[in-house]
Amino acid sequence: MSRSGALAQIDTLLAAISDPAFVSVYRGEPLAISGTPVLAFWLTGRTSDFETLGDIGSRVTVMVRAYFRMQDSPDVRESIEEEVWDAMYQIDSQLRSDADLGGNVTDSSVGAATVGYTNMSGGVFRTVSVPYEMELYGEVTITP
């Protein structure tokens, strides 16, 4: 199991989404976005899950977020709603397609997608946020 391998596999899975056609996948929460739609993912937390005599398991949570630039045109706003729905489905489908992230985690689960808006660099973006939780058995070794 590898932390960097898990992140690389998430990147690979998200980059394989073709509908909507994301122009980029960012590893880390973006501070500015030039082109859209884009996907980003970043770590949001880690908790110890359970402990044995020899090791401790953990749960690591990642936030996956899609960004769609809003525009004044009603037609564009309508098409963005379709892309938002497609993004919710595709993110869920891709992440579930490899539950152990190529052997880099023990298991994973996809949380409920939420939709909203965010302001960034003077622009308004429609967002889809999906929490993704990874389980890692025996991540921390207890040394006697």
Instruction: Please count the structural domains in the chain.
Output: 1
Judge whether 126 and 70 are in contact, CB under 8 Å. yes
Structure confidence by residue, pLDDT tens digits, 41-63: 999 998 877 776 666 778 899 99
Q: At what angle do helices 3-15 and 74-96 cross, to 10 degrees?
A: 140
Name the phi and psi angles at 32, rounded to 5: -155, 150
Question: What is the predicted pLDDT for the residue at 114?
Answer: 97
Judge whether 64 and 95 are in contact, CB under 8 Å. yes
The rounded distance, in Å, linking the Cα atoms of 24 and 58 is 30
pLDDT at 22 over 90: yes
- Residue numbers of the domain that contains 33: 3-141
Q: Which residues pair with 89 in a beta bridge?
A: none
Cis geometry, peptide bond prior to residue 37 (ω within 30 degrees of 0): yes
Which is higher by pLDDT, 95 or 139? 95
List Cβ neighbours of 3 (8 Å cut-off, separation of 6 or more): 104
Q: Which residues pair with 65 in a beta bridge?
A: 40, 129
| CATH label of the domain that carries residue 19 | 3.30.70.1700
Question: What is the predicted pLDDT for the residue at 55?
Answer: 67
Question: What is the predicted pLDDT for the residue at 56?
Answer: 75
Structure confidence by residue, pLDDT tens digits, 25-45: 999 999 999 888 999 999 999
The rounded distance, in Å, linking the Cα atoms of 51 and 128 is 34
Judge whether 58 and 46 are in contact, CB under 8 Å. yes
> Cα separations (Å) of 111 from 6, 54, 91, 140?
18, 30, 11, 25
